[in-house]
Amino acid sequence: MSAKISGFRQYSVLPGFGPAMGFTLTYLSAIVLVPLAALFLRAAGLDWTAFWGTVSSPRVLASLRLSFGASLAAALVNALFGFLVAWVLVRYPFPGRKFVDALVDLPFALPTAVAGIALTAIYAPNGWIGRLLDPYGIKVAFTPTGIFVALVFIGLPFVVRTVQPILEDLDAELEEAAASLGASRWITFWRVLLPALWPALLTGFALAFARGIGEYGSVIFIAGNMPMKSEIVPLLIITKLEQYDYAGAASIAVLMLVLAFTLMLVINILQARLQGRHLGK
């Protein structure tokens, strides 16, 4: 039996750990590590004083607050409403459900520039929705609110498509067992369903948040791009490049990369703990 197993391992068409790990490290180095290393080397052209002066300027700090704040707010909204959309698509049969399910993927397929132009046309003061809000003094297009709307639009599918498969795999007998033991619908949801959904919900939130931080195409059309008011970090980096300030652009990109990586690492650690706690139960 052991000879058969060793022979299978020796002549298997599937690669072993060594070749697979070597290919993985080579691929990641070429696609991820080398470009990031080049970015850090470019930023290293500035000394610490010049680097800190660049990344701590009021304009950069305002852009960071806007990018991370709008992305966080949009991801939180998508976590709530994306969960509701996934719940309806999984739990309730209704006419046109397949159409609505396909509609969720529209932000994935739609070019970001097209999404930005469409949102701007709708929420501009003379747009379909903008003209209804304008009499009340509510402005969406060309304001930070427009950035939030654009990030909600492009981030919703990440939450829906992450939570939806977990909802589909949940055994209905768990809810029936909880109901037979006298648990209310709220207790069943809070104590039985939500613990199983937390890791997927947190993953969708993290994906939507990460997408929002780096989003450019759908935002620049609706943001207004006013320095200190509605200027996102990716646009500021582009502005630096257009001014041939490559070291400054690299410095801002490095800072944004470090901040985004730190936040994503914290979210992944929290997700792993929640998943381990759920499996432990």
Each residue of 110-136: pLDDT tens digit? Answer: 888 899 999 999 999 898 999 999 888
Q: pLDDT over 90 for what percent of the chain? A: 36
State the pLDDT confidence band at 261, using cuts at 50, 70 and 90. confident
What pLDDT, on a 0 to 100 scale, did the predictor assign at position 85? 94
Task: Judge whether residue 9 has pLDDT over 60.
Answer: no
47 has pLDDT over 90: no
Q: What is the pLDDT of residue 88?
A: 92
pLDDT at 253 over 70: yes
Is the pTM higher than 0.85? no
Check residue 273 and give its pLDDT. 78
Average pLDDT over residues 84-105: 90
What pLDDT does residue 6 have? 47
Q: What is the Cα–Cα distance from 225 to 220, expressed in whole angstroms?
A: 7
Confidence of residue 25 (pLDDT cuts 50, 70, 90): confident
pLDDT band (50, 70, 90) for residue 38: confident
- Per-residue confidence (pLDDT) for residue 13, from 0 to 100: 61
Higher pLDDT, 180 or 107: 107
* Arithmetic mean of pLDDT, 152-181: 84
**3 state DSSP class of 88:** helix
Bigger pLDDT: 167 vs 179: 167
DSSP 46: S
- As a whole number of Å, the CA-based R_g of the chain is 24
Instruction: Compute the mean pLDDT over every residue in the chain, rounded to the nearest whole number.
Output: 85
The region that residue 168 occupies, defined by phi over 0 for left and psi between -120 and 50 for alpha, beta otherwise, is alpha
Range ranked top by mean pLDDT from 20-29, 80-89, 182-191, 272-281 = 80-89
pLDDT confidence of residue 264: 81
